[in-house]
Amino acid sequence: MEKILDRFLRYVSVDTQSDPGSETQPSSRKQLDLLKMLKDELTAMGIKADLDEYGYVMASIPSNCGKDVPPVGFIAHVDTSPDASGADIRPQIIKDYDGKDILLDKESGLSLKVSDFPELAGYRGQTIITTDGTTLLGADDKAGVAEIMDAAQYIMEHPEFKHGEIKIGFTPDEEIGRGVVKFDVAKFGARYAYTMDGGAIGELEYENFNAAAATVHIQGRNIHPGYAKGKMRNAILIGMELNSLLPVEQRPEFTEGYDGFFHIISFNGTVEEAEFSYIIRDHDMELYEKKKKVMQQCVDFINTKYGEGTATLKVKHQYYNMRKEVEPHSHIIDKAVKAMEMEGIKPRIQPIRGGTDGANLSFMGLPCPNIFAGGHNFHGKLEYVPLESMEKASRVIVNIISLFAE
């Protein structure tokens, strides 16, 4: 049986960064390189699998338990975040981690410091997989992909293991909020599912943010700086002024738990015009709607001060909090809890400070909580994942399947 580490390293070697500026599905053709690989690997295991025109891999393992068991699915996304390069990833493998700082890149001095990330110390003695300090790692969510594939291989190589019908799904474009836009739930065929897309070992989530993306365009007026008095309107400065109107305490770096936030993720501009991009998040629907109104009020203020049309706001909804869709099916949470406890893992049920494909799938009729994949510090050069967390996650998948078949 192939080791999960070998799978993971193979998957992260494929550049699958999604492209928010693209209108295609998948947003980047290179995602299909890994999706085709996964389809072929599943087929080689003896599992019926297909890859459709939208970049969805769907596979099915027939029941062998002779009982009326609801089909259960496991889903992970193959794309990596646009926030950092996903090309030419060179992982570092630190065996028997000593609990001290980990140097990632000698040239820049970038390190994983225990003082900054105290949770590192909890993985002393384990095998830690890190970046080389120049790219992200891709554990979000190729750790989840590897865990599902590892569990599938175990099941196919152990025919004595009794289970109901198992569904496997791999999706593109989760990182840009379009992961399941064209996902055919009926074709997938699961009654319940789990995304393997959480963070540290033990995480179990069935609440997530309500989410929107906001773009503010600032139209300035460029005049030669020697003759600019009373005439120039610097779009960069006006955009900075607008950003300063948003509540500082509601930035991601000052929030936790159920706190929502405004997060500026990019800006690009000149004196003539500029564009500022944000994401807006809140677990509470009323506060979520209020945040969108606050953003509009800031734009209105700028237009009142500098003239109508100076600032233009576009808000695009991304996903809703899945709690109300999952809670009526609490037994799927209970099974995940027990599956973790069977591996000696203490479950930590908490709200997701982000989103997963499962949020949209839950509103599409497929209740889909989220289980840890094991990684930390997603979307950046400080990303890492303990090997033992991935191994445990694979066992949790197998345990959930066995619990459904009881």
**CB of 91 closer than 8 Å to CB of 131:** yes
* Residue 247 CA from chain centroid, whole number: 26
Residue located via tokens 């979307």: 379
C-alpha distances in Å from residue 163, one per residue of 42, 143, 199, 397, 399: 18, 23, 27, 12, 10
In sequence order, what are the residues at sequence separation of 6 or more whose Cβ sits closer than 8 angstroms to the Cβ of residue 348? 200, 202, 203, 204
- Omega before 141 within 30 of 0, i.e. cis: yes
Residue located via tokens 């000052």: 254
Task: Please give the Cα distance from 146 to 73 (Å, whole number).
Answer: 15
Q: Does residue 174 carry a catalytic annotation?
A: yes
Read out DSSP for 277-308? EEEEEESSHHHHHHHHHHHHHHHHHHHHHH-T
Q: Please compute, for residue 353, the number of CA atoms within 13 A of its CA located in the half-sphere on the CB side.
A: 16
Hey, how many other C-beta atoms are within 10 angstroms of the C-beta on 9? 16
Task: Please give the Cα distance from 358 to 107 (Å, whole number).
Answer: 40
- What's at 185, amino acid-wise? V
Longest dimension (CA), the chain: 84
**CB of 80 closer than 8 Å to CB of 140:** yes
Handedness of CA 171, 175, 176, 181 (dihedral sign): positive
Q: Which tokens sit at 194?
A: 């789990």
Q: Which of 169, 157, 110 is nearest to 134 (CA)?
A: 110
Spot the catalytic one: 140, 150, 173, 174.
174
Spot the catalytic one: 79, 147, 205, 207.
79
Catalytic (active-site) positions: 79, 174
